[in-house]
Structure 1
Amino acid sequence: MNFNYRHSNPAFFYRQAGDQNAEAWRRSKRHRDDFSGFAGDYAYQEATEGLPELKKGTVQYLGSQDFYPTLFRVKFRQIAVITVSLPFFAFLFCISYSFFNHYDWVTKTHCNVWNIAPSISASIGHFTPQKYVWKLCIALHSAPRLLLCQMYHTYMFKNIIREKTVQQMALLSCTFNVAEVFSLLLLSLVPSIEDFSLHKLSFSSFLFFSVGYISSSYYLLRTCRVTSLNSWERKSMIYKKRILTANFLAIGFAMYFYWRHNTYCEPGIYSVFSLFEYTVVLSNMGYHFTSFWDFYNVYISLGTEFGCNSC
């Protein structure tokens, strides 16, 4: 069947594909007035969960009065794995390569005392190929991270209390999330050896926005939720709590040992700081990876609109 035009009734298209697809549209219709764009697609995926997939050539509902044939469809949990794998690989590569090839440089500090653990700043910004690998992986992972920001924006507004204060807090949380991505980009593009002040500012901003997003998102999804949790979301909340605790403790200990190193210049203390710095970075990756369970049954669809505007 050739769908080369628009129709005023979205259910028409589903009925052409079968009664089950028409039922899927009716189940997602209640979301149509409140959501559009990605949210419409999310509502469709939620409504059609457990039903057979549309046959090739049929049309999915992605927004009010707009119809797109699906050209590309992928599970979001696969995107989540790839997204977190990029910075994780870059982190492991830069630390290990620097340890074995530039050990004296990446463990050296202004105190000239003994250390064993390379600092992240020295490992990712001073030498090649580490700095190129880090910049490339962070740049590649930023696009899906921004997509994830939009997804959580919709997810929160769909699942939390619809009060003005709570909704504003959700918007602030999503703003923290976006700002964290750009802060990470900035500190990756400007290494400490080139501009220490700007690198320090971007790293401080990254920590501030990261803490703001992690704490606010966990609070909203934990205490302001109005919808019931499924098994995957319950698992996600358990991991969120554990990772949040580890992240906040690691930040506190890292700040203490950094102060102690600069104040007393004790041997090995900067290495202890570096280990807690690793924990901060890895726990941040882990918290964002919980999207794997929050959007476990969500698919990302890519389609092309067709039809005439005058129809």
Structure 2
Amino acid sequence: MLQGPYGLDRDKPLFRLPFTIFAVATVFLALGGLVSCILISLLYHFEDSTATHCQVPNYLPSISASISQTPERYIWRVCIGLHSAPRFLVAVAYFNFYRGRFARRWTEWLLSCVNLACALGENLGLLLLTYVSSNETYDLHKNGFIVFIACALGHMTITCRLWQVIKKYSLSPEEQTSYLWKKWLFLFNVTSCLFAAYFYKWHNNYCDPGIYTLFAFSEYLVVLSNMAFHITAYWDFGTKEVMVATPPEDKRF
């Protein structure tokens, strides 16, 4: 159980939620927002959301374009606002998990600290690119996206490294499943990032028809694989609960 500073024998639980439901709901907030924004953009703002700087044919909006119109931007902001708060809790939960596993291994403990910083940076970058759309302040939005991608890749890289160490000692069947999914999703995410960068550069250099569509599709895969990576918390904390509790009378201020 994800516990507070007081023992469960003395706390008064106000709210309990299985971590499996918590993890799935958190990711599906972002997924639902993304799918909704893309579909609305395609149905109602196709010309605006798929326009390119060199006016070549394009059939899919980039994520930035799909969340920059109205009402898409507001749907996305509500979903990510609700999605981000639990992400901070999950980041701290993972840090405490690693701290318990690597209490006497300084290298891995330091990596755990860097991993926490990457997780927080990823979430902050996501919030920045969400609440500053590309048609409001493009440079700030772009920087938020860069922070998000860089921190996400750093977080996934370090996470896979830490779990590679953990599996040398003991892994439950659930943790083994989680590690395998983490590893393959990380490789898929990196591959998708490389394809997205390649198609983006190709589009900017040559403006060939349809290339920006391939970039947008690759970008979708980057974000979807990132979401899937985070949902592996389903196995890592499958027996845990998120609990809100009141402290005992003698601990209140």
Band of TM-score, shorter chain: over 0.9
Cα distance in 2 between the residues matched to 1:210 and 1:39: 28
Q: Is residue 39–residue 154 contact of structure 1 (8 Å, CA) maintained in 2?
A: no
Letter in 2 for 1:285: M
Letter in 2 for 1:188: T
In the alignment, which of 32, 52, 60 is matched to residue 117 of structure 1?
A: 60
Tell me what 1:85 maps to.
28
Tell me what 2:193 maps to.
251
Q: Describe the shift of the 1:309–1:83 C-alpha distance in structure 2 as closer, same or farther (beyond 3 A).
A: closer
Q: Is residue 160–residue 225 contact of structure 1 (8 Å, CA) maintained in 2?
A: no
Letter in 1 for 2:221: T
Deviation sequence 1:191-235 (CA, Å, 0-9, x none)? 111111111111111110000000001111112556511111111
Letter in 2 for 1:245: L
Normalised by the size of structure 1, how large is the TM-score? 0.77
Tell me what 1:164 maps to.
106
Matched, 1:192 2:138: no
Cα distance in 1 between the residues matched to 2:251 and 2:146: 49
Q: What is the correspondence of 1:61-100 to structure 2 with a 5 Å cutoff?
A: 61=9, 67-100=10-43
Q: How many residues align?
A: 251
Where structure 2 has 5 or more consecutive residues not aligned to the other structure, the ranges are: none
Identity %: 37
Tell me what 2:182 maps to.
240
Letter in 2 for 1:300: V
Q: Is residue 159–residue 227 contact of structure 1 (8 Å, CA) maintained in 2?
A: no
Cα distance in 1 between the residues matched to 2:128 and 2:103: 34
Cα distance in 2 between the residues matched to 1:306 and 1:219: 40
Deviation of the 1:267 alpha carbon: 0.4
Of structures 1 and 2, the one scoring higher in RCO (CA 8 A, sep 6+) is 2
Following TM superposition, where does structure 1 have runs of at least 4 consecutive aligned residues deviating by more than 6 angstroms? Answer: none
Deviation sequence 1:94-150 (CA, Å, 0-9, x none)? 00110011111111010100011111111101x211100000000001111000001
Q: Describe the shift of the 1:303–1:227 C-alpha distance in structure 2 as closer, same or farther (beyond 3 A).
A: farther
Q: What is the correspondence of 1:40-59 to structure 2 with a 5 Å cutoff?
A: none
Secondary structure of the structure 2 residue equivalent to 1:192: coil
Q: Is residue 167–residue 176 contact of structure 2 (8 Å, CA) maintained in 1?
A: no
Tell me what 2:8 maps to.
60
- Larger Rg, first or second structure (1 or 2): 1
CA RMSD of aligned residues (A): 1.8
Tell me what 2:240 maps to.
298
Deviation of the 1:309 alpha carbon: 5.7
Letter in 2 for 1:283: S
Normalised by the size of structure 2, how large is the TM-score? 0.94
